[in-house]
Structure 1
Amino acid sequence: MDTLKLKEAKDMLADDYGNLYIYKNKDFSLTKYDSLGKQLGKLMLTVPYKVQTVQNPLSVPLFSENAQEMKFVDQNMNEIQRIDFKQKFGFIKMAYAEDLQQLWLLDDSTKRLIQYNFRNNTTINSYPFDASFDDLMDLLVFENKVYILTRKHIRVYSLKFEKLFEAPLENGKRFRRENEIILVVADNSILKYDPEKGMVKFFGDQDAQIVDKNILAYFEIKANKLYLYNLEKIKETKLQTEPEIRKETPSAVVEPPVDKPVENEVKKAEEEQKESSEKAPETGLQKLMNEISEVQVSGI
């Protein structure tokens, strides 16, 4: 991508179609690009907004603590719905859109966690939740568990405000849920929550400015350039290096390298080119469907 598009990026998100969303704090803009760098849409905001997720590009939720509202935008970055919290609640510190009709709200004024149906404007449940909201970064509710991400920790609670898990975690930005898997996207790493092992890092680069992932690949911005890492490559590297490292440090978390020697990449590229020349050409949609099928077969 053009380095000018990545310059001053505060955050980056990738949907499962390979589209990128670049958020800039300088002008509070959210810009959507396709995989070739072509701009598909741009949203200019008047106050800071937090993008929750872009996994469903047809309805992207954004929350603003300053404006006390949540809005949803479509695939062309046009606003399709706005929810104003000021008239019905106290001060909402964080909001999580569970689906297309329910929100979970952390009300700082009443210290309660509220389950709210915004389609019919009704409160479904309200739970006492007397936690510190000062350094809150993100919120996620899944299977009767409340996941709280702060600047330095991740905490997991039951709906009865019982603490189930806590671990230090530096520079965490947001949660990402993939079916049953709970991920944390930090500044330069992506970690998986494991109830037994704790937080397991399976992608990271100390030199990266921003990282993210979709169902097919990892993305990172480093030195104002965009890098993409194949999901299968990272998995294969981890499987190859894990047994040897575990002999020395059984409890250590394996962090697979994100770079491979240039010679290996060139050799693999030549092999892939040779294979592709022997196959009939695929359309872009066929290629995407094949890649998704391969990932599903692999159990990702």
Structure 2
Amino acid sequence: MKLFILILGFAFCSLSAQKALPLDTLKLKEAGDMLADDYGNLYIYKNKDFSFTKYDSLGKQIGKMMLTVPYKVQTVQNPLSVPLFSENAQELKFVDQNLNEIQRIDFKQKFAFIKMAYAEDLQQIWLLDESSKRLIQYNFRNDTTINSYPFDASFDDLMDLLVFENKVYILTRKHFRVYSLKFEKLFEVPLENGKRFRRENEFILVITNNSILKYIPEKELVKIFEDPDAQIVDKNTLSYFEIKANNLYLYSLEKSKEPKLQTDPEQKPTEKPSDQPKEQSDDATGQTVEKVEEQPKEQSADKPADDTLQKLIEETSEIQAVGI
């Protein structure tokens, strides 16, 4: 009976960790990418027709763009200003919460050939110029180049670019690399099916086809979410999202903390200060503790016997003295 209850408990936990969202499978079919903002809105990009569509958490369409050439959606963390870069069109555009274009930046007039662009904020863009092999920090508000750094890296299989705290993060089809602005390689690790970066405060995340990894600076990449059967995965600050078998699922971030703690070397489970040391001391010195506990018992048992014998000797001596 207890085993049956335990199995039901595990089944309940697994079901409660996963929640199917009411988005039509036809809307998810042939999706090339999916992103989720912190309001629970979903953005679907389709490679087939270059469409970019936004839905709310109930599956209602909020906006849609029909693009003429391929674009790469950088991030939707600020839904009021979503950046999209096109290598074909050599331009970066920003769209608002309804996917209406609010600004377009044309690179053809000022630069040779931009392979990748990263919008740091609403003023500055980092550009990888393939022709000049340079990393350019560009202020598009006043049309000025702030800095330019030699960057002689391979641009053939480049997937994404991110610049944060004087470090350049490069994602290719086969590797994840970190450089300084002086083009010094700080970290490199093989990585399959990398798609894009996501920055959450000081943490850098790497999104692949079916997993999400967290970068431990100059040490390793740690998987914080993975589903081998997923087609596309993403996350916001509260949940993980995945498309699997043309269905959309949400996983609460709270449910995923336990496996994350087991794989993340920087985070360790909290231990109870009162119980755990006691268990460790009993396990480590069990035999010694037992002997220490037994020894006082033997002493306490022998002492009353010695006192009784001494009293009998004294009483015998007194009787002999009296002459009985």
Calculate the TM-score normalised by the size of structure 2.
0.74
Counterpart in the other structure of 1:78:
100
Counterpart in the other structure of 2:313:
none
1:204 aligns with 2:232: no
Mapped contact 2:187–2:218 kept (Cα < 8 A): no
1:28 aligns with 2:28: no
Please give the per-residue CA displacement for 1:45-88, whole angstroms capped at 9, x wherever unaligned. 00000000000000000000000000000000000000000000
Cα 1:145/1:238, change in 2 over 3 Å:
closer
Matches within 5 A, 1:174-185: 174-185=196-207
| Match 2:36 to one of 6, 14, 17 | 14
Runs of 4+, deviation exceeding 6 Å:
none
Counterpart in the other structure of 1:120:
142
Q: Percent identity?
A: 86
Mapped contact 2:186–2:218 kept (Cα < 8 A): no
The 3-state SS of whatever aligns with 2:255 is helix
Equivalent pairs, count:
244
The 3-state SS of whatever aligns with 1:235 is helix
Task: Choose 1 or 2 for highest CA Rg.
Answer: 2
1:116 deviates by 0.1
1:195 deviates by 1.9
CA distance in 2, matches of 1:33, 1:60: 15
Counterpart in the other structure of 1:234:
256
1:104 aligns with 2:94: no
More helix by share: 2
Greater RCO (CA < 8 Å, at least 6 residues apart):
2
Matches within 5 A, 1:1-300: 1-239=23-261, 242=262
The 3-state SS of whatever aligns with 2:142 is coil
Please give the per-residue CA displacement for 1:79-107, whole angstroms capped at 9, x wherever unaligned. 00000000000000000000000000000
CA distance in 2, matches of 1:237, 1:93: 37
Mapped contact 2:93–2:103 kept (Cα < 8 A): yes
1:148 maps to a residue whose letter is I
Runs of 5+ consecutive residues of structure 2 not aligned to the other structure: 1-22, 266-324
1:197 deviates by 3.4
Please give the per-residue CA displacement for 1:131-152, whole angstroms capped at 9, x wherever unaligned. 0000000000000000000001
